[in-house]
Amino acid sequence: MTASELQGRVALVTGSTDGIGLAIARALAGRGCAVMLNGFGEADAIAALCADIAAAHGVKVAHAAADLRLEADAAELVPRTLGRFGRLDIVVNNAGTQHKGPVEQHPPARWREVMALNLDAAFHTIRGALPGMRERDWGRIVNIASVYGLAGGVDRSSYVASKHGLVGLTKAVALETASTGITCNAVCPGDVATRIFHRNAKLLAEREQISRAEAGQRIAAGNMPSGRVVAPEQVAALAVFLCTTAADEIRGAALPVDGAWLAR
């Protein structure tokens, strides 16, 4: 991959004020992309984040405060990005949420919310972005799914269903764009060291009277034969690779970054 092949591209990364999305936004900015951030946070902190990424990489960075559980916000996000940057080359559908508990106790309203954020929002951004991508015959759509997009899991029915749906949407869009310069792929991480992982490690460390590092290792080893948690930057590196020329013919794939979770 050449250092500058993504220079001047415009990327939208949903759910990018924290976690994996932020790592992806930083990585794309590092390749010279202008970036539209999206996600929650204090206005001052978000402004500082935009300024920080822009200064670090010499690119334009803006933020759209869309709540992607809401259809109107999700449908407006691409038009807002086009309004700000004039074009849109890369869409990373990353924002996601989950609900834990048995299916028979899953509140229906919460089910709708998980589906809306994890699946419907990606439909809206893809639908909005494709016409411009088709005009220029170039585009990259990267959907951040999960190992739970490829395998089941207990007490997370809406998460599993929405992420399987996202993998299905990825394949459908990849087929519809198969003869064009647009690709659509999914990335399927295992346990990633984001805020929630660190919070769980802290709780386990306190409960078991062990170090946070050991607690983190125990959580990771519970799911991943590698025994190591995945770094957000490792997920971001794959997302960026999927945006390069080298990945031109990777289409409709669902690629695990999971420490061999799914290899068993």
Per the annotation, the verdict on 159 as an active-site residue is yes
By CB under 6 A, residue 162 contacts ligand NAD: no
Count other C-beta atoms under 10 Å from residue 255's C-beta.
18
Give whichever of 142 and 243 is closer to ligand NAD, judged by the CB atom: 142
Which residue bears the tokens 């834990």? 100
Q: Compute how many residues bind ligand NAD; rule: CB under 6 A.
A: 27
Beta-carbon contacts of residue 209 (< 8 Å; ≥ 6 apart) = none
Name which position in 125, 146, 177, 183 contacts ligand NAD (CB under 6 A).
146
Number of residues assigned to the chain: 264
String of DSSP letters for 24-90: HHHHHHHTT-EEEEE----HHHHHHHHHHHHHHHT--EEEE---TTSHHHHHHHHHHHHHHHS---E
Give whichever of 71 and 208 is closer to ligand NAD, judged by the CB atom: 71
Name which position in 6, 10, 36, 39 contacts ligand NAD (CB under 6 A).
39
Count other C-beta atoms under 10 Å from residue 47's C-beta.
12
Residue 136 vs residues 70, 88, 182, 203, 226: alpha-carbon distances, Å:
29, 10, 9, 49, 42
Q: Whole-number minimum distance, CB 180 to ligand NAD, in Å?
A: 26
Cα 45 → chain centroid: 21
**For residues 12 and 81, is the Cβ–Cβ distance under 8 A?**
yes
Which region, judged by CB under 6 A, interacts with ligand NAD, from 130-138, 169-177, 192-200, 216-224? 192-200
Q: Whole-number minimum distance, CB 235 to ligand NAD, in Å?
A: 8
Per CB under 6 A, which of residues 43..102 are in contact with ligand NAD?
67-69, 94-97
Q: Whole-number minimum distance, CB 141 to ligand NAD, in Å?
A: 14
Name which position in 128, 132, 189, 259 contacts ligand NAD (CB under 6 A).
189
Catalytic one of 148, 159, 197, 261:
159
Q: Binding residues for ligand NAD, per CB under 6 A?
A: 15-21, 38-40, 67-69, 94-97, 117, 144, 146, 189, 191-192, 194-197
